[in-house]
Structure 1
Amino acid sequence: MAKQLYLTAQFELEDADAFASNFHDHAKASRAKPGCLFFYLIRDRHNPARFATMECWEDYSYFEQHVNDEEHNAFHAKISQVWKREPDVMEADLLCGME
Structure 2
Amino acid sequence: MFVRIVKMGFHPEKIPEFLSNFEENKEKIRGFEGCAFLELYRDKHNTEQFFTYSYWKDEQSLENYRNSALFKSVWAKTKILFNTKPEAWSVDKLVSLD
Alignment TM-score > 0.5, same fold: yes
Q: Which residue of 2 aligns with 1:59?
A: 58
User: 1:29: how far off?
Assistant: 1.6
- Runs of at least 5 residues in structure 1 that lack an aligned partner in the other structure: none
1:46-93 alpha-carbon deviations (Å, 9 max, x no partner): 332211000110011111111111111011111111111221111001
- Establish whether residue 8 from structure 1 lines up as the match of residue 15 from structure 2: no
Cα RMSD (Å) of the superposition? 1.4
Aligned length: 96
* Higher normalized helix content (fraction of residues): 2
The 2-side partners of 1:42 and 1:79 are apart by 16
Report the secondary structure of 2:81's partner residue. coil
Q: Which residue of 2 aligns with 1:74?
A: 73
Large movers: runs of 4+ above 3 Å: none
TM-score normalised to structure 2 length = 0.87
- Runs of at least 5 residues in structure 2 that lack an aligned partner in the other structure: none
Q: Which residue of 2 aligns with 1:31?
A: 30
TM-score normalised to structure 1 length = 0.86
